Chain A
Amino acid sequence: MSDMDDMDDGSGVIKKFMFLNRKAPHGTVYALEGLEVVLITAAFDQDVSMVFTDDGVYQLVKGVDSKGIEIKDFSKTYRALEGYDIEKLYVDQASMDARGLTEDDLIVDVTVLSVPEMANLMAEQDVVISF
């Protein structure tokens, strides 16, 4: 999460990139390494959306303490996303309900979407990358 200077592929093309976060923050590396791609994509001035679904909603839950597993806590990065102009954060209502979570349990402001709303949003994207 360094070298965040603006990058450019020279084409001037801006596409809609959606990052689909499906995995819990710890247990596998997908959430952490996925965040790296999100930040780089924003540095390319692309139109970035992040979706949190399935266990991915746990990435945004308040009070994560990873000291016990001796792995870096990167949850602060989600709060810093605004600074990279990443403001489109969506969570899946059904995934929240299944885990007994509400928006008050999350560390950032999000838009909660139903499954049909999520499907419509996905259909609008140029690129969907799933971690």
Chain B
Amino acid sequence: MQFGILVNEGPYTHQASDTAYLFARTAIEKGHSVPRVFFYHDGVNNSTRLATPPQDDRNVSARWSRLAADHGVDLVVCVAAAQRRGINDDVLAPGFRISGLGQLVEMGIQYDRLVTFGD
């Protein structure tokens, strides 16, 4: 089954991004595919490469980048939400790209399931 994933909260304050990551990783391990993850609202803050969490903590953006590199997951950050929050191409971690809300709607149209992670 093809899963689209929508992440609506930023890293560390909320668990949404962690749960979305674990869901995506597990779905792929189980033989499903996750062609794209869309980051909206404060979820765009998952995309910055400038975050430097303590070494004994998980690195949320790096973990997403690794998932993109290993499994070809398309990590899309909403341009309007990103611009409001100071996220641009200069700060993006590897594997992330900035695009429009149409990419979210396309997931709903094209994939078998669209799963939202947020409050």
Contacts and interface: CB of A to CB of B under 8 A. Distances in A.
Count class of interface residues, chain A: 20 to 34
Interface magnitude class on chain B: 10 to 19
| Chain B binding surface SS class | helix
Nearest to A23: B119
A102 interface: no
Given A33-B40, A33-B81, A129-B114, A11 B101 contact: no
Nearest to B111: A127
Interface string A23-57: 00000011001001100110010100000000000
A9 interface: yes
Interface of B: 6, 8, 40-41, 80-81, 100-102, 104-106, 108-110, 114, 116, 118
**Shortest Cβ-Cβ A-B pairs, 8 listed:** A127-B108, A40-B101, A9-B106, A41-B105, A44-B105, A127-B114, A9-B109, A13-B109
